[in-house]
Amino acid sequence: MSIVPPPRLSEEGIRQFTPGLSGLTLDALAAWLAEHGQPAYRARQVLDAVWRANPATLDEVTTLPRPLRVALAESFRWDTAGATEVAIADGGRTEKALHRLADGATIESVLMHFPAGPGRRERHTLCISSEAGCAVGCPFCATGELGFSRDLLTAEIVDQVRWASRHLATDGLRLTNIVFMGMGEPLMNLDRVLEAVAALNDPSRFGLGARHITVSTSGVVPGIRRLTALGAQFTLAISLHAARDSLRDVLVPLNRRWPVAEVVAAARDHAAATGRRVSYEVVMIAGINDTDADADAMAELLRGDLAHVNLIPMNPVAHTPWQASPAEALERFAARLRAVGLPVTIRGNRGQDVGAACGQLAAERAGEPAPAAVAWRRKRLEQASLAALRGDPSEVVDAVVARSAR
């Protein structure tokens, strides 16, 4: 199976949106201000308003003269990701925002509050989206089910962060961590994700330390290699899910383009070049990827690496035949990895009652697919995962999928 590259938003398509102010660097802003006859010091003032004071509207930025505010409002949008809907779960510990963008696309961000624990400070972690939808199509992921709409612009990425930090500020709190684990494949929108990370990391803009930023990928090998070459300073997370190609081909369709050994080799080089531990994420699905054979294959694959494995019970997603692995299966899997010296954390899943798994809320808003499509999808997944579990090579799994599609 070949993976068709997703359509990109054309330059013309991008121009139809008024740009977001938060997507500008200091230099770009200074150039715009100079063209508009403004003194150079205004650039710093505007950026401070965008990133520090960050009120809900440009009108409230009284440090800037009114004519400048009017001129800015004609050329830029103050907020490109205004939250239209917020759902609260876990007794207030998880807040999910559904943001509606200028072209009507919807994306999500999830704010999670973690209390202080022994040796650990209180954390407020925001999970953000990098694309509307996703082209990779992992079958356990609600975003994958939605398909790909478009890449987000830099401002649309960072405005999710500005929204959350404004929201937290009302309670006197600050964002402590940002993870690119919402909708989309960050490494397929890498230029804008890198611009967003630069803005979030820049002490004169958002100023969050690189140690507190994580970018997760399903395994876009050239993207990982590019990050390594740039010496990118943030935590790299790899959505591994399975160590055997035949099963990973089903769980992460991108595996057919970049097989697991290539992904792990790129991650290993990244860890060696940056000296930073790579996080491997494994969504645990009962009876599918949580067997002893899978644990042993993963232990063999990662043994000796500068790595950390996170086991995450699958959040229930409509239209899949699968369930989360039970607690005993998670413990057993973790023990087999730990036996070869790999550090493992078993994560709880957050916000199930508001659909806080990747893309779920947006999927619900997108409406129900036709029952026939759901039945076909379930059947296809059951057949494909059975074939993969038998250890059939990818060609056989493909044939099974093709047969069940008839």
Residues that bind ligand SAH (CB under 6 A): 134, 140-141, 181, 185, 216-218, 239, 281, 283, 312, 314-315, 317, 349, 357-358
DSSP character at residue 19: P
Binding segment toward ligand SF4, per CB under 6 A, in 132-140, 200-208, 335-343, 374-382: 132-140
- From the CB of 296, what's the least distance to ligand SAH, in Å? 21
- From the CB of 130, what's the least distance to ligand SAH, in Å? 7
Among ligand SAH, ligand SF4, none, the one that 158 touches (CB under a kind-dependent 5 to 8 A) is none
Q: Does 185 bind ligand SF4 (CB under 6 A)?
A: yes
What is the full DSSP assignment across 122-188?
-EEEEE--SEEE-SS--TT-HHHHH-EEEEPPHHHHHHHHHHHHHHHHTTT----EEEE-SSS-GGG
CA angle in degrees (0–180, nearest 5) for 121-174-206:
120
**Which is nearer to ligand SF4, 147 or 287 (by Cβ)?**
147
> Structure tokens of 41?
């010091």
How far apart CA 236 and CA 179 sit, in angstroms, is 10
Among positions 135-164, residues that touch ligand SF4 (CB under 6 A) are 136-138, 141, 143-144
**Which is nearer to ligand SAH, 252 or 342 (by Cβ)?**
252
Number of residues interacting with ligand SF4: please give it, by CB under 6 A: 13
- From the CB of 241, what's the least distance to ligand SF4, in Å? 9
Site for ligand SF4 (CB under 6 A): which residue of 83, 111, 126, 134?
A: 134
What is the full DSSP assignment across 365-385?
HT-PPPHHHHHHHHHHHHHHH
Q: Does 284 bind ligand SF4 (CB under 6 A)?
A: no
Which amino acid, one-letter code, is at 17? F
**Which is nearer to ligand SF4, 138 or 354 (by Cβ)?**
138
How far apart CA 230 and CA 119 sit, in angstroms, is 33
Q: Which of 108, 145, 156, 185 is catalytic?
A: 108
What is the full DSSP assignment across 274-298?
H--PEEEEEEEBTTTT-SHHHHHHH
Q: Which residues bind ligand SF4 (CB under 6 A)?
A: 134, 136-138, 141, 143-144, 183-185, 218, 239, 358
**Mind telling me the catalytic residues?**
108, 358
